[in-house]
Homo-oligomer: A and B are copies of this chain.
Amino acid sequence: MSTERALRLPGIAYGGDYNPEQWPEEVWAEDMHLMGEAGVTMVSVGIFSWALLEPAEGVYDFSRMDSVLDLLQQNGIAADLATPTAAPPAWFFKAHPEALPVDADGRTLSYGSRQTFCPSSPAYRKASLRIANVLAERYADHPAVAMWHVHNEYGCHNATCYCDASAKAFRRWLRTRYADDLAALNHAWGTTFWSQRYYAWDEILPPRTTAAPPNPTHRLDWRRFCSDELLSLCTAEREVLRRAAPDTPATTNFMVLPTFDALDYWRWAPELDILSNDHYLMSDDPEPEVDIALSGDLMRSLAGGRPWLLMEHSTGAVNWQPVNRAKLPGEMRRNALAHVAHGADGILFFQWRAAKAGAEQWHSAMLPHAGTDSTIWRDVVLLGADLRSIAQVRGSTSSAQVAIIWDWEARWALELPSQPSSSVRYQDLVRDWYRPLWRAGIAVDFVRPDDPGLDRYKLLLAPSLYLVDDTSADNLTGFVERGGTLAVGFHSGAVDENCHVRLGGYPGAFREILGVHGDELFPLLPGQTVGLTGEVPRDARADLWTERIRLTGAEAVATYSDGPLAGVPAVTRHTYSAGTAWYVATRPEPATLAALMERICQEAGVRPECETPAGIEVVRRRGTDADYLFLIDHAGQGAEIPAHGVELLTGKAVCGSVTVPAGGAAVVREPH
């Protein structure tokens, strides 16, 4: 990620997606007036405007966009101007039906929605760069344009296409990865198995639906390719924009949220000037605040510790889940402040004005169908004021003593078919470990397994690292050797970058530093649990996974108390060189896992930001002159928390303690 090009806006950016083209022009003036009332400072425009901007191939109509940008400029609102390439017009598909995506079953998808194009289509690439270029050249110098919004949610609906053009692109990508050496590919994919050997590059296809289980490495390379293929579209657009406006920063909205895993954002992040994220709550998530925190910490980590923007979230319900719940009283405000606490320097919504028509007509907005006489609108205005109160937080960073290893390749590999258990899900495993730290007020970064600067942390957690290459394995080993504490979750270190099992005992790459040797995996059936005994809470139980390991240097912290592995170690601790390595060979239930994490943190010398009662989230952002202590009450009880400085939301001095109102928040400026 470049730092040359920054977003030049004061305070915390505030706003949302703005689609004036869906409304008569008489509404626009009201929009400006109300944006002023709410304190909106930036809006995203043009995201789905291709069909209006280019009504026919090479014919352009910028009249409406000109007016909108001028109006924003006149009203002091910055524009985050989007390339409209996420939704090509109907005329494009009429002319280029071959650019429609094809699924793994060979079914060609139709247009009439959005994001229904093949990422490898030459026609799409040409048309999208053409409109991006015309747009960039026209508005490069428009004073309203503060940032480019490249495309929209890459891969949200069309992360994969299995058509022949995609096959060709896949082969091109593979020739690069394997340095044009087909034997290397055959080795990596293990094609001796099931008679899958390729004798010519053009025999290779996307992993289309077949009769029996797929080759895992074929699938894994396909996922790598799909992420890279979309990234190449993104960087191509970015280049067009940068050429026209060298100083304007470019972002694209990521989707760091539980239901999306198509893109390896570690590879994307360096290509963008500013990172931004879209984050939505799952209606059936009993603790969505955990997900906001995790997602925010991951975004901040992707941004190299620097602030990022929340490009989209919702004021209330979304419309794409089976049942879309509204937000509870105060929840929108808590959500927004939590995003800021975890590093966001901008709070934007999808969308400004609730739509009358179209697929998202029941998605909430800043200005609801009911208009300004509504709870949501009043809350939106109040939130604008809140954000102004904490404007000085902008640019502050954070620091953590604990890092969690996050790796998209390990995630993809873990969730391939034909695994010991299809119930093991990466996101769940990471969240299981993240949650007790979040509850305890312990700051967490996320890192790549090959991060060269691990020594800045006291404690490193790898809840799930099924796939790990030698470099990364050595990296983690070195961290422990030099005195660090590492905790590793089950089924980690199992395979290398080609998905080849590491032989000689489980958990392959980490056998030595963990001081254990496993010879057989015992995943548990749904509903099946086992007891734990040892240094764990009474009646502790675990589920999902067990392994038969024996100690080869480690000590047993917990063992199974029943089942076929009774007496076998379940959690181990190993002093290795100057450091310590823990292995958690099962999934303890939450209370036991929390106790375990507490002990690991204590031993590693990791402390919370601040002692708070249960339900009070505590996060610290660190500025040049002061720290900012965010205290958010998710339990609805309120609390009195020791602090000194100024509470920014109320402007009141804090001498000794600050009150967190029930369901509310406090942001305390603590001068250095």
A515-526 vs B, Cβ < 8 Å mask (1 yes, 0 no): 001111111111
Given contacts A112-B214, A324-B523, 19 further A-B contacts (CB under 8 A): A50-B195, A51-B192, A87-B194, A88-B195, A90-B197, A90-B199, A90-B203, A106-B108, A109-B209, A113-B211, A113-B212, A114-B195, A193-B357, A196-B358, A317-B521, A361-B418, A368-B519, A370-B503, A370-B505
Whether B357 and A211, one on each chain, are in contact in the complex, defined by CB atoms closer than 8 angstroms, is: no
CB-based contact A520/B376 at 8 Å: yes
| Chain B residues near A548 (CB-CB < 8 A) | 326, 375
A423 with B375: CB separation less than 8 A: no
A211 and B356 contact, CB distance less than 8 A: no
CA of A506 to CA of B195, assembled, Å: 52
Please give, as numbers and ranges, the residues of chain B lying within 8 Å of A239 by CB-CB distance.
Answer: none
Answer yes or no: A651 CB below 8 A from chain B CBs: no
Main secondary structure of the interface of A (DSSP, over half): loop
28 A-B residue contacts at CB 8 Å?
A: A51-B195, A88-B195, A89-B197, A90-B197, A93-B203, A94-B202, A109-B210, A110-B207, A113-B215, A157-B211, A190-B356, A193-B358, A193-B360, A322-B421, A322-B423, A323-B526, A324-B421, A325-B524, A326-B522, A326-B564, A354-B501, A362-B501, A364-B520, A368-B519, A370-B519, A370-B520, A375-B520, A375-B548
Interface: A602 (CB within 8 A): no
- CB pair A503–B369 under 8 Å, yes or no, is yes
- Asked if residues A323 and B195 are in contact (CB atoms below 8 Å), the reply is no
Chain A's interface size range is 35 or more
Q: Please, which residues of chain B bring their CB within 8 A of the CB of A196?
A: 51, 87, 89-90, 112-113, 358
Q: Give Cα A19 to B49, complex, Å.
A: 58
Q: What's the Cα separation between A420 and B354 when bound, in Å?
A: 14
Contact of A55 among B114, B199, B320 (CB under 8 A): B199
A116 interfacial by beta-carbon distance below 8 Å: yes
Evaluate whether A217 and B357 lie within 8 angstroms (CB atoms) in the complex, with A51-B195, A211-B109 already known: yes
Q: What are the 5 A-B residue pairs with the smallest beta carbon separation, nearest first? A: A190-B357, A193-B358, A110-B208, A374-B519, A87-B195
Copies of chain A in the complex:
3
**Shortest Cβ distance from residue A567 to the other chain B in the assembled complex, whole angstroms:** 12
Contact with B along A493-531 (1 / 0, CB 8 A): 001001111111110000000000111111111100000
The distance in angstroms between the C-alpha atoms of A354 and B506, with both chains bound, is 13
Contacts of A115 in B (CB 8 A): 211-212
Measured between beta carbons, the chain B residues less than 8 angstroms from A216 are 357-359, 361
